[in-house]
């Protein structure tokens, strides 16, 4: 049975026909909206009230702006999401003409992937732990050179031993597929692939990875994410920082705040300019993963740990393995030439690069009112 012919309790479901749309528009123009429960009957529609409300709110409302999201809208969504979390209706209230459903869809199908590709966790808006940690650790340990960038949470440690490295890599690799946004975002793939992963691989979460990484780190004073956000809101450049501060104190997303209680993640919010992180992700980590030296070391570690199977597991190229996660649909971004677009790409065609340095800044210019509205 097709969706459009689905009926339940005599009520039609599925896509709306132009005739139904017209009936709804005519009725609302004449009587206004509200009383959604009785509206369909009065309007001569065989639909439930919820369906009518949704159709009106998401599609028929005259003030809806249709078409592609502008770069400014995308930036606004990202900034608002970083403060509000998945409060789509509140985010939508700040974007005239856009509906919560539209923003939610756009987030899930576009922005989430873009952020992930950039090495930014779309949930926490923090730089992705896996890429960042590997970049630092590999830079300092494998190549035994002074870091090109300095992360406080890794300071004081320059060398890790092979078992630690292997532990880290094993943990990371077992996270790879599970953290792959394609697995998460594409529910078809998710159901198929993730179930297999759950069966075949040890359970691994970002927290477990963080725990593993914690063993490499000396105790660092952990400043909570919330405190950092509030600190950012005190930036004198932010006109409404007091208002923003109160908003952050009240409205910071539950997901983000949950991290503050774990006290295991390195605090990455010290960075006021994302370029350091972008350099780390696009340059150092990728150079490490791609290098023959790294592959050689990694494979010898596997052999030393007897992790090769009896049939003689062929050496594999870790960079290609990592690319499936680090840049799920565009592996080419791993190579050094294209990675520079992370830093400099600001053209229309490369809107997914978010080259501007203020992406993680919370200077939403107009502030928020008590309802979370601009």
Toward DNA, which CB reaches closer, 188 or 200? 188
d(CA 348, CA 328): 21
Binding pattern to DNA, positions 122-141, x when CB under 7 A? --------------------
Q: In which element (H, E) is residue 11 found? A: strand 11-12
If you write DSSP's letter for every residue of 127-193 in order, what string do you get? BPHHHHHHHHHIIIIIS----SS--GGGTT-----HHHHHHHHHHHHHHHHHH-HHHHH-HHHIIII
Site for DNA in 89-108 (CB under 7 A): 89-90, 100-102, 104-106, 108
Q: Residue 96: CA atoms inside 13 Å, Cβ hemisphere, count?
A: 2
Q: Which of 304, 327, 328 is nearest to 165 (CA)?
A: 304
Toward DNA, which CB reaches closer, 58 or 214? 58
Q: How many chain residues bind DNA (CB under 7 A)?
A: 43
Among the listed residues 29, 262, 296, 329, the single contact to DNA using CB under 7 A? 329
| Shortest distance in whole angstroms from residue 157 CB to DNA | 37
Toward DNA, which CB reaches closer, 24 or 230? 24
| Shortest distance in whole angstroms from residue 193 CB to DNA | 10
Site for DNA in 184-223 (CB under 7 A): 186-189
Site for DNA in 1-60 (CB under 7 A): 2-4, 8, 12-16, 34-38, 47, 49-51, 53-55, 58-59
Toward DNA, which CB reaches closer, 33 or 157? 33
For residue 313, give every residue at least 6 positions away whose Cβ sits within 8 Å of its Cβ, in sequence order, or none: 302, 307
Binding pattern to DNA, positions 71-90, x when CB under 7 A? ---------------xxxxx
175-198 as b/e: b if 16+ CB within 10 A: bbbbbbbbbbbbeeebeebbeebe
| Shortest distance in whole angstroms from residue 349 CB to DNA | 15
Toward DNA, which CB reaches closer, 188 or 306? 188
Q: Are 119 and 281 in contact (CB under 8 A)?
A: yes
109 forms part of the interface with DNA (CB under 7 A):
yes
* Residue that is written with structure tokens 């966790």 in the block: 121
What 8-state DSSP symbol labels residue 120? B
d(CA 318, CA 297): 11
Binding site for DNA (CB under 7 A): 2-4, 8, 12-16, 34-38, 47, 49-51, 53-55, 58-59, 86-90, 100-102, 104-106, 108-110, 182, 186-189, 329
């Amino acid at each position: 049975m097709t969706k459009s012919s689905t009926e339940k309790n005599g009520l039609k479901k599925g896509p709306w026909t132009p005739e139904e749309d017209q009936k709804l528009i005519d009725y609302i123009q004449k009587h206004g909206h509200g009383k959604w429960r009785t509206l369909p009957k009065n309007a001569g529609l065989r639909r439930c009230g919820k369906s009518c409300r949704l159709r009106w709110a998401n599609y028929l409302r005259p003030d809806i702006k249709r078409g592609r999201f502008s770069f400014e809208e995308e930036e606004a969504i990202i900034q608002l999401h970083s403060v509000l979390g998945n409060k789509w209706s509140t985010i939508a209230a700040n974007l005239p003409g856009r509906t919560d459903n539209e923003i939610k869809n756009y987030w899930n199908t576009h922005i989430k992937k873009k952020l992930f590709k950039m090495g930014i966790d779309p949930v926490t808006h923090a730089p992705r732990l896996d890429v960042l940690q590997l970049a630092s650790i590999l830079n300092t340990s494998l190549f035994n050179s002074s870091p090109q960038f300095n992360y406080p949470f890794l300071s004081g440690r320059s060398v890790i031993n092979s078992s630690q490295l292997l532990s880290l890599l094993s943990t990371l690799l077992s996270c790879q597929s599970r953290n792959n946004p394609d697995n998460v975002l594409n529910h078809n793939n998710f159901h198929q692939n993730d179930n297999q992963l759950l069966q075949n691989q040890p359970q691994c979460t970002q927290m477990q990875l963080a725990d593993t990484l914690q063993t490499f780190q000396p105790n660092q004073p952990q400043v909570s994410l919330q405190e950092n956000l509030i600190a950012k809101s005190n930036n004198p450049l932010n006109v409404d920082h007091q208002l923003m501060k109160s908003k952050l104190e009240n409205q910071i997303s539950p997901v983000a705040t949950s991290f503050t209680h774990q006290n295991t993640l390195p605090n990455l919010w010290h960075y006021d300019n994302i370029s350091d992180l972008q350099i780390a992700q696009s340059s150092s980590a990728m150079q490490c993963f791609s290098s023959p030296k790294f592959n050689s070391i990694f494979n010898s570690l596997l052999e030393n740990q007897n992790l090769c199977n009896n049939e003689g597991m062929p050496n594999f190229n870790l960079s290609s393995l990592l690319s499936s996660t680090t840049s799920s649909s565009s592996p080419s971004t791993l190579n050094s030439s294209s990675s520079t677009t992370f830093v400099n790409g600001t053209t229309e065609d490369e809107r997914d690069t978010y080259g501007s340095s203020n992406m993680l800044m919370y200077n939403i210019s107009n502030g928020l009112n008590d309802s979370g509205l601009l």
